[in-house]
Structure 1
Amino acid sequence: MIEAQDVLVDPVERRVWRAGREVTLSRMEFALLHALISRAGELVTRQELMHQVWGTAFYTSSKTIDVHLGWVRRKLGEDTRRPTLITTVRGRGLRFETTAADVRAEGASASG
């Protein structure tokens, strides 16, 4: 089990809970969330995500990541305008935050 903030991920059973409530994700949504939460607190580049989640060494468009990320954020009940779970570091990548306080302190942005 992997846990950060109030999100719990079971990589073996491919199940996710937020605040004790199970969240249903598609295969790709789960893979994206797992790639980020397994490195909680670390910056993960879009290139790394494309390789790990989509199995490609290049990305044709960041829209692929953005669309799936939007679905994951919504399913987790995240405010997409002011995310506290998965934040975007413009021009660098994405990070699953270990605490919501870190996000407020840094003034992280949801755009990417």
Structure 2
Amino acid sequence: MIEVQEIRVDPERRRAWRGEDEISLSRKEFDLVHALISRAGDIVTRDELMREVWKASFYTSSKTIDVHLGWVRRKLGDDGRHPHLITTIRGKGLRFETGPAMS
């Protein structure tokens, strides 16, 4: 079980919760959340996400990650304009924050 902020993920059973509420995630959404939360606090590059989540060494679409990230943020209750769970580090990648993101 991985728990960061109010999000809990069970990689073996592929289930996720926000607080006590279970979150319904698609296979790719779960893989994206798991790839980020398992390295909470570290920047994960888009290339790493494409390899780990989409099993591709090239961008299938420049917006693939962004589209899935939008869905994940909505389901996790993370405001895309002022995210506190998953932040975009411009030019580097994404980071699952271990605490409230610094503005």
How does the TM-score come out when normalised to structure 2?
Answer: 0.97
How many aligned residue pairs are there?
103
Q: What is the alpha-carbon distance in structure 1 between the residues aligned to residue 45 and residue 71 of structure 2? A: 19
Letter in 2 for 1:4: V
Instruction: State the SS of the aligned residue for 1:59.
Output: coil
Q: What is the alpha-carbon distance in structure 2 between the residues aligned to residue 61 and residue 94 of structure 1? A: 17
Letter in 1 for 2:69: L
In structure 2, list runs of 5 or more residues that go unmatched.
none
Instruction: Note if contact 1:46-1:94 (Cα within 8 Å) is conserved in structure 2.
Output: yes
CA RMSD of aligned residues (A): 0.8
In terms of mean alpha carbon deviation, does 17-26 or 55-64 score higher? 55-64
Instruction: Note if contact 1:16-1:24 (Cα within 8 Å) is conserved in structure 2.
Output: yes
- Runs in 1 of length 4+ with deviation above 4 angstroms? none
Higher share in helix: 1
Q: What is the alpha-carbon distance in structure 1 between the residues aligned to residue 94 and residue 58 of structure 2? A: 17
* 2:89 paired residue number: 89
Instruction: Note if contact 1:46-1:62 (Cα within 8 Å) is conserved in structure 2.
Output: no
In structure 1, list runs of 5 or more residues that go unmatched.
108-112
* 1:31 paired residue number: 31
Q: How does 1:56-67 map to 2 (within 5 A)?
A: 56-67=56-67
* 2:47 paired residue number: 47
Instruction: State the SS of the aligned residue for 1:88.
Output: strand
How does the TM-score come out when normalised to structure 1?
Answer: 0.89
* 1:110 paired residue number: none
Q: Structure 1 residue 62: deviation in Å? A: 2.9
Q: What is the alpha-carbon distance in structure 2 between the residues aligned to residue 51 and residue 71 of structure 1? A: 20
